[in-house]
Amino acid sequence: MPIFTAFSILTGDESVDARAEALADALDRVQPAPLEVEIYDEEDGSGNLRVAAIFALEPNPTLLDVLATAFGASEFTVAETAQQTWSALTTLPGEAPAKALAALIEQMQPAPYGVGAFEIEDNSGLWEVGAYFLEAPDAAALNALGAGHGARPFAVSELPEIDWVAKVRRELSPVEAGRFFVFGSHDADKVPAGRIALQIEATVAFGTGHHGTTLGCLRAFDRLFGAGFHPAKVADIGAGTAVLAMAAASVLPDALVIASDIDEVAVDVSEANVAINGLEGRVECLEAAGFNHPRLAEVAPFDLIFANILKGPLIELAPDMAAHAAPGGLVILSGLLVVQAEAVTEAYLAQGFTTEGREDIGEWSTLVFRR
């Protein structure tokens, strides 16, 4: 499997050190995440600095362009070299053991370049722990760590040489959700006339429009807007790529729109997507856990709130949703399985909401409630 090296040059002036550090910090937080980021002095004595990042997956060129422009750097040059990659996967019961095992794997040698622990959303209570290595990992050592946490034996395999970005781009064709047309830059020539075009890259945070949850939220908003619902204040909680916030801003030129996420990487991705789609100044991007941000408190109550997250956080946020939604305002919720919709509905009815609509797409459900 190839690895990718991306580098950019910053011209030497009184701000070059600060700009290089800021660019390196931003690169550290993009998706796909780099394996490492370094700053070097150019050897020609010019005082220029080179910022270089190494990626296991091809970096998003559009996002790199946005970062280069933001920090006054040259256009990024991306080079590809061959590199083998191994994956190690296991399952085990319980969040705490899964996260503890993931933390131990991070300390292994050879060190993994990525480790994650994720709940398997089938109500089994099982979690998956996965790690990726640039050198063959010690399967016996992995299994010894796993056995101490009740994990099944690791499945270790060398990944085939697949151009994953090209594969994803082939499989992620443009998405149509009513008036909205969500596409990647590779499909820019396919945007039909008269549609609201939203460019979202396949290599950045959650919310390309293809997943049943994001698609459901876009469809729900499209129907409401078509029926005459034009909210003045909109919040997208757990925004990911900010596709929902951008959809609202695109058709509501006078609305105040805020996209927030608990993950700073997602906030960076949101800001980049807002810029790519020409919506700078139209969508505010904030880092916040739920509604815990002074700006959200200042602007509330909201006429429309999107929350495309997970069942647990949706239920936990129900009281805050009630507190931040305007009387008669709507909330569009997703990120939940069809089998979880009843529990979420009960939580929101208990807070004084009334059911306005529901759409199931495959195994995923989208719910609409009125305050």
Rounded mean pLDDT, 341-347: 95
Nearest CA to 272 out of 16, 61, 12, 100 is that of 61
Pick the CATH number of 86-158 from 3.40.50.720, 3.40.50.2000, 3.40.50.620, 3.30.70.120: 3.30.70.120
Phi and psi at 299, nearest 5°, equal -80, -30
Per-residue pLDDT at 154 exceeds 50: yes
Q: Which helix (H) or strand (E) holds 284?
A: strand 283-287
For the chain, give every domain's residue range: 2-82, 86-158, 207-370
Domains 86-158 and 207-370 share a fold: no
At 287-333, the pLDDT tens digits run 999 999 999 999 999 999 999 988 889 999 999 999 999 999 999 99
pLDDT score for 92: 93
The amino acid sitting at 45 is G
* 2-82 has CATH 3.30.70.100 classification: yes
Phi and psi at 32, nearest 5°, equal -70, 145
> Hey, how many other C-beta atoms are within 10 angstroms of the C-beta on 104?
18
CATH number of 207-370: 3.40.50.150
The pTM (predicted TM-score) of the whole model is 0.61
Q: What is the DSSP letter of 265?
A: H
At 207-248, the pLDDT tens digits run 444 467 888 999 999 999 999 999 999 999 999 889 999 999
At 41-91, the pLDDT tens digits run 887 778 899 999 988 788 888 888 888 888 889 999 998 876 677 889 999
Rounded mean pLDDT, 97-124: 85
At 264-297, the pLDDT tens digits run 877 888 888 899 899 999 999 999 999 999 999 9
Contact 364, 337 (CB under 8 A): yes
Measured between alpha carbons, how far is 116 from 92 in angstroms, rounded to an integer? Answer: 13
